[in-house]
Amino acid sequence: MLKFKKSVISKMNKFNISSFFTNSQNEPKTEIKIAEFCQANYGYYIWPCSVILANFVYLNKNKIFDSQDGVVLEIGAGTSLPSIVAKKFNIFNKIIVTDNLNENSKLFDLIKYTLELNEIELINGFDNPNSNGVLIQHFDWTHLDGNFLDKIPKIDFIIGSDYSKKLDLVVAIRFLIEFNNEKIEFYTTFQIRSFDSYMKLIYLLQKYSLKFQKLEIEDQVVFKKNQTEHLAHTNYNRFVQKMVRSFGDIAIQKRLLNVGPT
């Protein structure tokens, strides 16, 4: 079991630095530092679903994600917590962090600073087999560009969290499955904020021949904030989803909705 205990430890270079401490009986205590820039743009700070996804990645490092040689791409990464966890624990050798860097002008510097805080190398590509860092790429999924495919290798896994306000991301997933690797698996955590957004998601999945599956998390993620413990799930109906290409009939798992606050 892995627990993240969050505490804001300092403010440097105009960024707030949040520290996550792992709590695992099987491994030494590890600190992960994430830079945040708290302003109106929600891509600059940590969302609860990102913590859940990071925990899921860690818990499945010897299960779903059991090949270090695989390539993982985090889409709409923001502060990139799941990618940092994946690299910190050597779950993947090749990690690509992507977001709309043109729209979020400070995001590249924020991610770069987070890599420095965790002593992770920023690389320009995977040409060097000995490279052991993270690649940052601009990817605006609202304007799909074939040139992006020339900048990335074959992707095995995509991870992403809390994109429920931008469900057109489903189109981008289909784009990558179609033109990069038809066997891509996309793992995501998100919060259903309204019935309308849920129905739009189902419509897009059907339209682009994708299917998704609800996955169980071994335990709740617990983190500390302002001296109070919070369960990351609470009543928000957040969960991990696996999304893949549907080669036959589209299978949409039915579930009761527990719509949380907006």
Tell me the CATH number at 125. 3.40.50.150
pLDDT tens for each residue of 168-224: 788 899 999 999 999 999 998 877 777 887 888 888 888 888 888 888 766 544 333
Select from 133, 46, 44, 39 the least CA-distant residue to 95: 133
The list of the chain residues with pLDDT below 50 reads 220-238, 246-262
Ordered DSSP codes for 193-235: --HHHHHHHHHHHHHTTEEEEEE--SS--EEEETTEEEESSTT
Q: Which amino acid is at 189?
A: T
Burial of 184 per CB tally in 10 Å (0-12, 13-18, 19+): buried
- The pLDDT value given to residue 176: 94
Q: Is residue 1 part of a domain?
A: no
- The pLDDT value given to residue 6: 56
**Phi, psi (degrees; rounded to nearest 5) at 247:** -95, -10
Q: Is residue 17 part of a domain?
A: no
- The pLDDT value given to residue 200: 84
Q: Is residue 30 part of a domain?
A: no
CA distance 262 to 45: 17
Distances (CA, A) of 39 to 79, 82, 106, 190: 13, 21, 11, 21
Looking at the structure of the chain, the number of domains it has is 1
Neighbours of 229 (CB within 10 A): 10
What range defines the domain where residue 139 resides? 62-220+233-245
pTM over 0.75: yes
Q: Is residue 199 part of a domain?
A: yes
- The pLDDT value given to residue 123: 94
CA distance 202 to 205: 5
Q: Is residue 212 part of a domain?
A: yes
Select from 125, 172, 178 the least CA-distant residue to 144: 172
Q: Is residue 27 part of a domain?
A: no
Select from 74, 67, 66 the least CA-distant residue to 97: 74
Q: Is residue 4 part of a domain?
A: no
Two structure tokens written together for 208:
């682009």
Q: Is residue 254 part of a domain?
A: no
Select from 170, 212, 165 the least CA-distant residue to 190: 165
Whether 188 and 161 have beta carbons less than 8 Å apart is answered as yes
